[in-house]
Structure 1
Amino acid sequence: MADYKFDTLSLHAGQSPDARFGSRAVPIHQTTSYVFDSTEHAAALFNMEVGGHIYSRLTNPTVAVLEQRLAALDGGVAAIATASGMSALFVTVLALCSAGDHIVSSSQMYGANINLFEHTLKRYGIETSFVPPNDPTAIAEAIRPNTKMVFGEVIGNPGMDIMDVPAVAKITQAAGIPLVIDATFNTPWMVKPIELGANVVIHSLTKWMGGHGIALGGAVIDGGNFDWGQNDKFPMLTTPHFGYQGAILWEEFGPAALSVRIRTEGMMNVGPCMSPQNAFYILQGLETLGLRMEKHMSNTVAMLEFLVGHEQIAWVKHPSLPDHPDHDTAMRLMPKGQGSIIACGIKGGRDAGRAFIESVQLASHLANVGDAKTLVIHPGSTTHSHLTSEAMASAGLTDDLIRISVGLEDQKDIIDDFKQALRTAGKLTSTQAKGSGA
C-alpha cells in the first residue's frame, strides 16, 4: 500500500472491496478447496508457477488478507497465519533447525515456550541453551557453531524482563544466524522488532492483536532481511527443496524464502492452519488495535499509581517503573508504552494471593492475557506450574507473583475491584499474623 500510518494499515492493508459483490467487509471464505480452471492450471499451482489457492491448509482468501495486514503492520515481507502462537513458533523452528542443531533462548518467557525447547525439541535432537534475555554477553557466549537461531520475547512473560533487541541483533548478525522474536506482549503498535534488527517475529494473535478473547491464532512475520546464502547453515533454503521440482527457495523467492519454506513444509506437512472464521475475528480486532493499546496503556499507568506503595502490596514490577532493572532499555525501545501486564506480590504470600484472586469481582481469573477485560492469575500454580523449581527461579517466578493483564474497563472500576479484593487478602494476612503471635 501507499505509505499509510499504523491505524490506516490496521483497517485497510491486504484488502480491497470485493470485486464481485462490492463487500466492504472481508468476506469469510469458509471452504476447504478451490476449483481449478484446467489441468494445466492445477499443475501450475502445485508447482508454484502461478499464484492462487489450492487447499485451505496452505492458503485461504480470508486468511490471506490477515497475513498481508500483519506483514504490513510489522514491516515484514510476508506472514504466515497459524492456529495458535505455539504452532507459529513450532513451524519456525521446523523451518530452521534439524536434529543435531542448537538454539539459544531466553530463560525468562512463557512456560509453554520453555517446555517446547527444553523437552519436546530435545526428543528430536535439537538442544537449547537458556540465558538471561537482558544479558547480551551471555547470549553471545552461548552461541555455538551449530546454533541456528536466537529466540526471545521483547517483554518476558510473566517477569517482564526486556531483551535489548538491537544489541542482540548485532550479535546474531555477526554469527550469521537469525534473531527470532516473540512480540506478543508488545504488538507492533509499541515496537516493531524487525526495524530493530530482528529477522523473524512471532505473535500469539489470541492476545492483544485480536483483543476480544474469542479466537485462537498465531503468526510468523518474515522480516525478509536475512541473507540465507551467506553460509551453509540453512541448506533447507539454499539447496533443492524435496518437493516443487527441486526449487532452491533462496534463489526462487529471495527475501521471502523462509515464509515459503514454512508454508510448503510446516503448513503442508504439519497443518496448523488458521480457520477462515478465526481470521475474520482477528481482523476485527486489528481494526481497533491502536485505539485499544492507547487505552491499555493509560489504564496501566493508573493501576501502577494505585499499586505502588499500597499497604498490601509487597512489590510491583513493570518496565515503566524506574526501579525495573531494564527500565532504560524499555523506555528506549518502547517510548509509546511498556505493556499492559503488571507483576506484583501480595503481602502474605501464596495464601494471600489466592484470597485476592478469589475475591475479585470485575477482573476475571483465567489463563489468557491481552483481553479487553482485566485478567488475573497466579502463574506459579497455573501457566508455569510444570516447570522445575530451578526453571521457575530462572524465569523470575516467585511464589507470591500475581500477573495482572490490565483491560479496557473504566479505571475507577478496576481500581475499586482491586481495593476490595486486597482488603480481603489483608484480613487473611492479619489473621495469620495474630495466629503466629507476631
Structure 2
Amino acid sequence: MADRVPGFNTLAIHAGAQPDPATGARATPIYQTTSFVFDDVDHAASLFGLQAFGNIYTRIGNPTCAVLEERVAALEGGTAALAVASGHAAEFLTFHALLQPGDEFIASKKLYGGSINQFNHSYKSFGWNVVWADPDDLSSFEKALTPKTKAIFVESIANPGGVIVDIAAISAIAKRANIPLIVDNTMATPYLWRPIEHGADIVIHSATKFLGGHGNSIGGIIVDAGTFNWVGDERYPLLSKPRPEYGGMVLGETFGNFAFAIATRVLGLRDLGPALSPFNAFLILTGIETLPLRMQRVSDSALVVAKHLASHPAVAWVSYPGLEGDRYHSLAKRYCPKGAGAVFTFGLKGGYEAGVKLVSKLQLFSHLANIGDTRSLVIHPASTTHRQLTDEQKVAAGAGPDVVRLSIGLEDPADLIADLDQALAA
C-alpha cells in the first residue's frame, strides 16, 4: 500500500504509530520519562546542535508526543506539528515565533473569550499588539493591515457563536500582504474542515476539546502547513536570520517546509517550557482514533437539537450554521459539508435572567467551561467564559447577555431535547 494515500479514518488510527519495537505493544506506549540516554558524546552533540533528530528531554520532545504530532499533521495535511500543554500554549508559541516587540497581528472579533483576553491583555506585556477585524466584513481585514502586521488569526468555526469564517477569502488577503494566516480549527477538527486546503499557513488546536474528546486531558497542537516562505524575510528573524543558539543556523533554510514547527519547538517550547505530558498525549491519541465517528455523530445530533429549539416558543433565535435559514449556512455547505459541528448558541426571550435560569434547571447537560466532550455541556458565556469582556465585546464575540451555548455530546438527541424542554418549562 506504499503508493496509496490512506483515508481519514485510517490516518486517525494509524498515522505516526507502529508496534513498539522493544515489546511489540500495539498501542502507543506512554514514555513517562524526563530524559533519554545518548549513544555517545558525538550523538549528544549532534542532537543539541540540531544536526540529528532524536530525543533529549521531554520538555523538548517525547516519543508519545511525537506520535500525536505526526497524527494531527497527517489529518490536517501539514508537514509537521508540535504538541504542547494547552490550546493557549499553542497560540502563545505560535506568536512567539512570529512577533517582535511593537509588532501587530490582525484577529477576528469572533473568537473564544479566553483568546480575546489573552490578545487584549497578556500579549501587551510582550509588546505584541492585536488589531481587531470583523469576519463578516472582509474589507476590515484589508483596512487593518499596516507595515507592522505580521499575521492574521481566525477560528474556522468561531466559539461560541458558530460563525463560519471565509478562510479562502481571508487567505487571499494574507497572501497579498505576504503574511501567514493562522487558523484555530478546534471547533471543526480536520474531520469537518481542513483549513490548509483553503489557504491556512498554520493551524492550531486546543486538543483538550474534540481531538481528545473525553474531557480528561488538556493539550494543544501547532501544525505547520509548509506553505509560507520564511527564507530571506527579515520580518521573521527567528526563522530567517542566523540563530546564535545553534551556531548561526538559519532555521528557514535548514528545515524548509517544516521550519515553523521546528522554530516553535527549539526556540519556543525549549525555552518557555509548556510541554505536554506523555500521559495526556496518550489519552488524546486514544480519543483521535474515534474522531471521525464522534464528529459525525455530534454534528448530526446538534442539527436535530438546533431544529427543535428553533421552533420552541421560549427561544428567540438559534445560531447554528447547519440550519438552512442560518446566515452562515452557505459557507458551511462549502467548507464543512459533512456537518457544522457540535457547538451552537441560542437566545431566550427572557434575556439574561432566563438564560441563567435555564442553565440551573438542566439535568442531563453538564454546566461547565468546556466543549467537545462525550457528554453534552451547557454554559452562559456572558457570566463565565466571556465575563472579562466589555458588553460591546461580548456582543461582537457572539456572547451577548441572552446567549446560551450548548456543546452536544453522544447521548440520544431525544433525551437532550427532553432535558431542554423540562428546563424551559420550569
| TM-score, normalisation: structure 1 | 0.95
2 CA distance for matches of 1:263 and 1:238? 16
SS of the residue aligned with 1:246?
A: coil
Return 177-186 or 224-233, whichever deviates more. Answer: 224-233
Return the alpha-carbon distance in structure 2 between the equivalents of residues 150 and 134 of structure 1: 15
Structure 1: which amino acid aligns with 2:360?
A: E
Picking from 210, 216, 224, the partner of 1:222 is 224
8 Å CA contact 1:176, 1:230 repeated in 2: no
SS of residue matched to 2:423: helix
Q: Output one character per residue of 1:35-85: Cα deviation in whole Å (capped at 9) or x when no partner.
A: 111111111110111111000000100000000001000000000001000
The alignment of Structure 1 onto Structure 2 pairs a total of residues equal to 424
Select the residue among 280, 283, 290 that pairs with 1:281: 283
Contact 2:232–2:240 (CA under 8 A) maintained in structure 1: no
Hey, what does 1:204 align to over in structure 2? 206
- Give, in angstroms, the shift of residue 124 of structure 1: 1.9
Whether the 8 Å contact between 2:371 and 2:377 is mirrored in structure 1 is yes
Contact 2:205–2:222 (CA under 8 A) maintained in structure 1: yes
Rounded Cα–Cα distance in structure 2 between residues aligned with 1:173 and 1:36:
43
The range that moved more, 345-354 or 272-281, is 345-354
Q: Distance in 2 between matches of 1:410 and 1:301?
A: 13
- 1:317–1:344 contact (8 Å) kept in structure 2: yes
| Aligned match of 2:385 | 383
**Is 1:346 paired with 2:348?**
yes
Which of 28, 43, 54 is 1:41 aligned to? 43
Equivalent of residue 366 in structure 2, options 360, 364, 367: 364
- How far apart are the structure 1 equivalents of 2:215 and 2:302? 19
Task: Determine the C-alpha separation between the residues in 2 that align with 1:86 and 1:134.
Answer: 25
1:251 matched residue in structure 2: 253
Secondary structure in 1 matching 2:354: helix
Aligned to 1:182: 184
Deviation at 1:230, TM superposition (A): 6.1
CA distance in 2: counterparts of 1:118 and 1:239, whole angstroms: 29
Shift of 1:262: 0.4
Q: Give TM-score scaled by structure 2 length.
A: 0.98
Deviations 1:175-230, CA, capped at 9 Å, x for gaps: 11000000000000001000110000010000011110000000000000111136
In the TM superposition, residue 309 of structure 1 has moved relative to its aligned partner by 1.4
- After TM superposition, the structure 1 = structure 2 runs for residues 161-172 of structure 1, keeping only pairs within 5 Å, are 161-172=163-174
* Letter aligned with residue 421 of structure 1: A
Q: Secondary structure at the match of 2:70?
A: helix
Maintained 8 Å contact 2:307/2:323: no
Partner of 2:148: 146
User: Could you list the per-position Cα deviations for residues 252-302 of structure 1 after superposition, in whole angstroms to 9, with x for gaps in the alignment?
Assistant: 000111111100111111110100000000001000000111110111121
One-letter code of the match for 1:70? V
Aligned residue for 2:45, secondary structure, equals helix
Q: Tell me, what secondary structure is at the counterpart of 2:18?
A: coil
How far residue 119 of structure 1 moved from its aligned partner, in angstroms, is: 1.1
Quote the offset at 1:347 in angstroms: 2.2
Worse-superposed segment, 383-392 or 79-88: 383-392
Identity of aligned residues (%): 46
- Matched ranges for 1:70-219 at <5 A: 70-219=72-221
1:259 alignment partner AA? A
Higher mean alpha-carbon deviation, 103-112 vs 324-333, is at: 324-333
- Between the aligned partners of 1:6 and 1:323, the Cα distance in structure 2 is 30
Q: Give 2:402's aligned residue.
A: 400
* Post-superposition offset of 1:160: 1.9
**Equivalent position amino acid for 1:343 in 2:** T
More off after superposition, 50-59 vs 128-137: 128-137
The secondary structure found in structure 2 opposite 1:133 is coil
How do 1:5-44 residues align onto structure 2 when only pairs under 5 Å count?
5-44=7-46
Aligned to 1:427: none
Q: Letter of the aligned partner of 2:369 in structure 1?
A: A
Residue by residue over 1:126-148, the C-alpha shift from the partner in whole angstroms, topping out at 9 and shown as x without a partner, is 11111112322111111111100
CA distances 1:325-371 after superposition (whole Å, capped 9, x unpaired)? 22211211111111111200122112211221111111100000010
Give unmatched runs, 5+ long, in structure 2.
none
Do 1:176 and 1:231's aligned partners in 2 also have CA atoms closer than 8 Å? no
Q: Does 1:50 align with 2:52?
A: yes
Partner of 1:417: helix, strand, or coil?
Answer: helix
- Greater mean alpha carbon deviation, residues 313-322 or residues 403-412: 313-322
CA–CA distance in structure 2, aligned partners of residues 54 and 345 of structure 1: 52
1:328-339 residue pairs with structure 2 within 5 A? Answer: 328-339=330-341
Aligned residue number for residue 432 of structure 1: none
Given the alignment, which residue of 301, 309, 323 partners 2:311? 309
Q: Distance in 2 between matches of 1:104 and 1:409?
A: 39
Cα root mean square deviation, aligned = 1.1
Please report how far the alpha carbon of residue 34 of structure 1 lies from its aligned counterpart in structure 2 after TM superposition. 0.5
The higher radius of gyration belongs to 1
Distance, in Å, in 1 between the alignment partners of 2:371 and 2:339 is 17
Q: Distance in 2 between matches of 1:389 and 1:353?
A: 16
Q: Structure 1's 218 and 296: CA in aligned 2 closer, same or farther, altered over 3 A? A: same
Q: Helix, strand or coil for the counterpart of 2:164?
A: coil
Structure 1 distance, partners of 2:99, 2:275, is 21
Q: Which runs of 4+ in 1 moved over 6 A?
A: none
Distance 1:251 1:136 in 2: 34
2:28–2:282 Cα contact (<8 Å) kept: yes
1: CA distance, partners of 2:45 / 2:27: 32
CA contact (8 A) 2:185 2:195 kept: yes
